[in-house]
Amino acid sequence: MLKRRLNEKTDYRQRLALLKSGLPRLVIRKTNNKILIQIVEFIRSGDKTLTEASSLDLASLGWKGHSGSVPAAYLAGMLAATKAIKHGVKEAIADIGLQYSRKGVAIYAAIKGAKDAGLNISAGEAFPDDARIRGEHIAQYAKLLKSKNKAAYEKQFSSYLKSGFNPEDIAKNFDEVKLAIKNAKGNE
């Protein structure tokens, strides 16, 4: 325990406050390339992961965008909450760990996605706006870059273009994947 505190991996005061709520935790962790979301329950022998979803799971639902983006975080939050609700979890408390917290970042997009899927989560109003959640900022930047500097556009969006995806269509792709998650929720 002391080693995790010294290495700044765990804030035990924050953890204790979350555990005192008695609710399962919606644990959100972001890397450069993905978002991992778990529903974790505390039991005496240690934490028990009830369900999990990653932004990498979105590819099987048709997601073509970057897995570490704000739209991917929202969709991953929605997918994780859908799985949690199927396991009988109706309410959770957000656990963002030691990540930097600022209005509009991907972790809050993930929380909003979980809320929109039907999971009751108390959180402030630090959510990104709907246009940002849909990835419209990415599409606008892609259009601007393409018109100003085609070489920079091709470099910036090379992974999108290699897979045959037009980054200007990210909002449309977002809507398709969101619908796929909703349909999966209703069918199972």
Mean pLDDT by 10 residues, the chain (188 residues): 56 63 87 94 87 96 95 97 95 80 83 95 82 96 96 94 94 97 74
**Domain residue limits at 109:** 2-128+180-187
Q: What per-residue confidence (pLDDT) applies to 187?
A: 55
Report yes or no on 32 lying in a domain: yes
Identify the pLDDT of residue 17.
Answer: 61
In a domain, 45, yes or no: yes
Domain count across the chain: 1
Answer yes or no: is 135 within a domain.
no
For the chain, the DSSP string reads -HHHHHTTS--HHHHHHHHHT-SPEEEEEE-SS-EEEEEEEEETTEEEEEEEEEGGGGGGGT--S-TTSHHHHHHHHHHHHHHHHHTT--EEEEE-TTS---TT-HHHHHHHHHHHTT-EEE--S-PPPHHHHHTHHHHHHHHHHHHH-HHHHHHHTHHHHHTT--GGGHHHHHHHHHHHHHHHHHH-
Pairing mode of beta strands 25-30, 91-95: parallel
- pLDDT at position 60: 96
Q: What is the pLDDT of residue 158?
A: 94
Residue 153 lies inside a defined structural domain of this protein: no
Sheet with 120-122: list strands edge to edge: 46-54, 35-43, 25-30, 91-95, 120-122
CATH number, residue 39: 3.30.420.100
Q: What is the pLDDT of residue 185?
A: 66
Burial of 43 (0-12, 13-18, 19+ CB in 10 A): exposed
**Is 23 within a domain?**
yes
For residue 30, tell me if it sits in a domain: yes
Q: What's the predicted TM-score (pTM) here?
A: 0.88
Here the tokens at position 113 are: 């996605």
Task: Determine the pLDDT at residue 105.
Answer: 83
Residue 170 in any domain: the answer is no
Cβ–Cβ < 8 Å for 107, 67 = no
Identify whether 95 is part of a domain.
yes
